[in-house]
Amino acid sequence: MAESKDKKATRRQRVTESLTSRQFPIRRIIPNMVTLLALCLGLTAVRQALEGRFELAVMCIVIAGFLDAFDGRLARLLKAESPLGAQLDSLTDFVNFGIAPVLVVYLWALQSTGRIGWAVILVYSVCCALRLARFNVDMEEADRPAWKTKFFIGVPSPSAGGLVMLPIYLYVADIVNLADYPAIILANTIIVGLLMVSTFPTFSGKGLTHIRRDLVLPLMLFIGFTAVMLFTFPWFTLTAMSAAYYLFLPISAYAYWRLKQA
């Protein structure tokens, strides 16, 4: 009798385990849903540019950039990291920051440059694809020093997507209309593309998990101020952020060199 009860309990446990194994936790697909939302925004940006709504196109890409910075942290927070999510994020980055931004810039000001302009667009996209492929390979290195997680090698694709649209920020903010000087736009596009595939170290926020207590309040004030400026003066703020990024490149290289020497 006791043996019969044990068999029933074992059978019930097996049925429960079988049902559980067929279920998939919702929390594990939330980061991928955020990534797919960013992909939709990138593709929508291309459509808006084709219809001549360049300001809206740029905003779609900017929002996609913020979502890209959020989905990875969300995956780590929910313990939902997966190889599928990593590959999906990489493919989304190529569309959102390797294709959409330069197409917007091309449709805005470079169609008059003909084959030269299109060749520059292709160079940028190829550089972005190479940069993402190298990043995926670097992440698989098991013996990567901990201090290197504080840096990217080359400009990351989301930052590059923002930098390549700098001429549009300047135009919408009524600072200068570089559409009349397509050579400058072509030069900026080539420089950003080469920075992606370069070995130039740039600061990475992914390795930043803790900060000193005395920096918590200043950091919160800075984030709040940046958010207020983005909502109130978006084009001036995007211009300032792009200029600040260019200015910080030598500082990040110096910090990388100091840590490498140490």
Does any domain span residue 18?
no
Does any domain span residue 16?
no
Does any domain span residue 28?
yes
Residue 133 is part of which domain span?
23-261
If you average pLDDT over every residue of the chain, what do you get? 85
The domain that holds 110 is classified in CATH as 1.20.120.1760
Does any domain span residue 2?
no
* Mean pLDDT in residue range 191-220: 83
Phi-psi category of 52—alpha, beta or left, where left has phi over 0 and alpha has psi -120 to 50? left
| pLDDT higher at 217 or 138 | 217
User: Do the Cβ atoms of 136 and 177 come closer than 8 Å?
Assistant: no
8-state DSSP, 201: E
* The pLDDT value given to residue 228: 92
Neighbours of 151 (CB within 10 A): 20
Please state, in angstroms and rounded to a whole number, the distance separating the CA atoms of residues 253 and 135. Answer: 18
For residue 174, pLDDT over 60 is answered with: yes
Does any domain span residue 222?
yes
How many domains is the chain partitioned into structurally? Answer: 1
Does any domain span residue 188?
yes
At 53-107, the pLDDT tens digits run: 999 999 999 999 999 888 777 777 777 777 777 888 889 999 999 999 999 999 9
Does any domain span residue 9?
no
* Mean pLDDT in residue range 210-214: 76
Does any domain span residue 12?
no
**% residues pLDDT > 90 (the chain):** 53
The residues pairing with 149 across neighbouring beta strands, listed in sequence order, are none
At 9-57, the pLDDT tens digits run: 566 666 555 545 566 677 778 888 889 999 999 999 999 999 999 999 9
At 13-24, the pLDDT tens digits run: 665 555 455 666
Please state, in angstroms and rounded to a whole number, the distance separating the CA atoms of residues 171 and 196. Answer: 25
Please state, in angstroms and rounded to a whole number, the distance separating the CA atoms of residues 146 and 189. Answer: 32
